[in-house]
Structure 1
């Protein structure tokens, strides 16, 4: 098959095109037929003319007519003498006795004054006689019928030149090559072409396969990624796939009702395929450009067409009126929402004004929040102090039992902390499990404070503990250390911080859609924006009460703890 291209250029929606082969003697019949069709009112005007030097055709006929529903159509027939042997003889590699030395290639291009409908007759029928179907053959071999199903012997199906024929036909956008398969031979067979709309005539080649011939065709179709289902049908992919047509639509499975139902399914799929705009190949583009030199009189607007246009204009007006009503409805709803938002804004402004006018009330709320937080911290510290007293006593007893040790030994001094935030950040780069975000905006707000050194020490100790936690988690697994809080009570933890420094999360903010939740959304490298409710109290409860917010992804894709914020306490549901 021809390789499908990716660039698709559809022909105009009001265009129709096809091509085929006939005998040179048909020219005289066309000359005699067109006057008869004019006298019977089938065509309005016609003319015969010859191609000038350099044209790809020898003779041309133009005809204009109206369809049954009043559409005006301009149709042009080009005839080109072909004195060479038929492509079928070339395919078989031997001459055919029925080859005629004066074959004539034909092509018909038509334009309508509205989008083309497959329910309209094939424009080629206005040029060729009704009682002669010899012109309904393909453009290349002149032997493949376009008016009935074609059965082929295995000699031709297995010929490599048959593949070349399919490739050439798939490159012509007006053709739809269809294979239909009958597992068993039937004497009386429905004809697929009889089930198609009139406008599909001369554009569809139906090749009927029997028995195991579907295997042979599927070998040919292998590289196209489509196949012929047993007892079903397949539309051979064209060089340019129409927009809106997927690969899966090429194949049609056998229907449960038998061959007749299957062919009706195939006919429906082929009709859908032909209804799409086809690719505007060089030949089609040249033919459409030639239609610009139309010299026959333009058809006047008929009564039926005027009624159609009037009905169409009325329908357009109804649609416009409906769209206007919907737009007005949406506008009214938007205005209602705007009025409601204005009322809420006014109420919020009044409340803010009351707060501004009553600073004592506002300060009282802040003091109460600070008091509650201080009591919570005090109670937690008292519990931890009790635990530490018991632990220290136990450790002293254990130490006294070690030879050379005694109760009176002093504890070693705490390791020195980094002397600046910048030095700390440089040291953090040596921690493979810690990732720092943009901390400068919050950090700048606590620089120069009298307790900055204390906050820096606590921050550093928290980071060391987090790195130790991540390293331990890699060794013992998630089930042992699912989170940092579990590390703080793990008996093998060797880098510790007071448990009161650590706040596992802010469940209320994470679950509810509050205005404060957004202030805890920070960027994490490799993860995007994440909620960082977990934080560390690197300062006390008195403002600015610095906090360090983190996101624990040690069990996730990055394997790191991401630090997103370091600075003054963020607003929470209690107003702090």
Structure 2
């Protein structure tokens, strides 16, 4: 089993993440039309296109936000980022978060931004170019199969299902199994089909993943690193009937796999941060709450600045007092002593202690009064009563 050089954090169970590529024309307009239609149908509560000036990075292409309600009262917030035009279309990244752990029976966030139509061109995996909503037949050559499967699990974004066709299926069997999955899972699954005569060569390629596909069955490919609790036998289905019937055992395995605590996919941490910190589509109550947080933050910063100003003022007064004592005595101001300071002391405490020492030294150097002064100038009498 392969290992990852770095450990990625585990996401919140309330998050839903997906990534893909749109290969058709004008994806921005496609998203706008879909959001406007769903708002008019009251399927979503509201949506917003974030102006370019408000995006976190100049590398971002377009950013769309949407908010809707599921299960009667659970609010979902989602943010779709469309990258700038590339060689093979435009990549998109979707991050959604609900107010409670995500339920796979909820509507897929993908269908809020993209039309769920068979001929829509948004459903390409950005690494391999494979389709989410269609059957993808594995190539014939061993090296091509290995390369494709390695690239499929790269980054941890997709759920990869390998299904062996024990015999050539009819028209119903050629339909993707993913269409029978829970709504929030079907747009994250890439279905790889193994031809009847490819079983041996494919299982050789699958050895590096630590899994094998049964004859006429299916298996799930673990990402790298494999999530905690992943056991190849638990996510292997011995028989999948490709006759159009619902493969209950396979759906159960996919559902259990999707709920494992998998690490965040590569690049998802930035998307989640933007969803939570750069969110623009707010209700009036949310705007008021944000303004209160800002006021509290500014108040705290102002208090800290005021305290710092008072400490500096106190230090300056002590410095002037010490200097006044030295000037009164006509004493040359000594060089600042190089004293070790405790690592836990603040600069204000260090300065105050130094000034106190200088002040005490100046007082000790002040000329003595009364009788001591007579002896100092030589006018006092001798012990025998006579003058000098």
Tell me which interval the TM-score lies in, with the shorter structure as reference length: 0.5 to 0.7
Q: Which of residues 79, 82, 86 is equivalent to 1:83?
A: 86
- Note the C-alpha offset of 1:10: 1.5
Matched, 1:64 2:32: no
The one-character-per-residue Cα deviations of 1:506-565 (angstroms, maximum 9, x if unpaired) are xxxxxxxxxxxxxxxxxxxxxxxxxxxxxxxxxxxxxxxxxxxxxxxxxxxxxxxxxxxx
* Native 8 Å contact 2:179 2:186 kept in 1: no
**Could you tell me the TM-score, scaled by structure 1's length?**
0.45
Corresponding residue number in structure 1 for 2:213: 228
The one-character-per-residue Cα deviations of 1:265-318 (angstroms, maximum 9, x if unpaired) are 2221011101223211341111111112112124989xxxxxxxxxxxxxxxxx
Cα separation, 2, equivalents of 1:199 and 1:159: 33
Q: Which of residues 176, 191, 195 is equivalent to 1:191?
A: 176
Q: Which of residues 136, 141, 144 is equivalent to 2:123?
A: 136
* Native 8 Å contact 2:136 2:191 kept in 1: yes
**Could you tell me the TM-score, scaled by structure 2's length?**
0.65
Trace 1:171-320 onto structure 2 (pairs within 5 A). Answer: 171-187=154-170, 188-189=172-173, 191-254=176-239, 263-291=247-275, 292-298=277-283
* Native 8 Å contact 2:105 2:183 kept in 1: yes
- Note the C-alpha offset of 1:118: 0.4
Trace 1:151-162 onto structure 2 (pairs within 5 A). Answer: 151-154=137-140, 158=141, 160-162=143-145
Cα separation, 1, equivalents of 2:35 and 2:148: 33
Matched, 1:13 2:19: no
Query: Judging changes above 3 Å, is the alpha-carbon distance between structure 1 residues 159 and 215 closer, same or farther for their aligned structure 2 residues?
Result: closer
- Whose radius of gyration is greater, 1 or 2? 1
Cα separation, 2, equivalents of 1:55 and 1:2: 36
Q: How many residues align?
A: 279
Unaligned runs of 5+ in 1: 87-102, 302-576
Query: Judging changes above 3 Å, is the alpha-carbon distance between structure 1 residues 82 and 219 closer, same or farther for their aligned structure 2 residues?
Result: farther
Corresponding residue number in structure 1 for 2:290: none
Q: Which of residues 105, 118, 126 is equivalent to 1:119?
A: 105
Cα separation, 1, equivalents of 2:72 and 2:64: 24
RMSD between aligned alpha carbons?
2.7
Query: Judging changes above 3 Å, is the alpha-carbon distance between structure 1 residues 59 and 53 closer, same or farther for their aligned structure 2 residues?
Result: same
Corresponding residue number in structure 1 for 2:40: 39
The one-character-per-residue Cα deviations of 1:391-412 (angstroms, maximum 9, x if unpaired) are xxxxxxxxxxxxxxxxxxxxxx
Corresponding residue number in structure 2 for 1:30: 31
Unaligned runs of 5+ in 2: 287-388
Query: Which one scores higher on RCO, CA 8 angstroms, separation ≥ 6?
Result: 2
- Note the C-alpha offset of 1:110: 0.3
* Native 8 Å contact 1:80 1:104 kept in 2: yes
* Native 8 Å contact 2:142 2:205 kept in 1: no
Query: Bigger shift: 287-296 or 32-41?
Result: 32-41
Query: Judging changes above 3 Å, is the alpha-carbon distance between structure 1 residues 54 and 35 closer, same or farther for their aligned structure 2 residues?
Result: closer
Query: Judging changes above 3 Å, is the alpha-carbon distance between structure 1 residues 5 and 272 closer, same or farther for their aligned structure 2 residues?
Result: farther
Corresponding residue number in structure 2 for 1:306: none
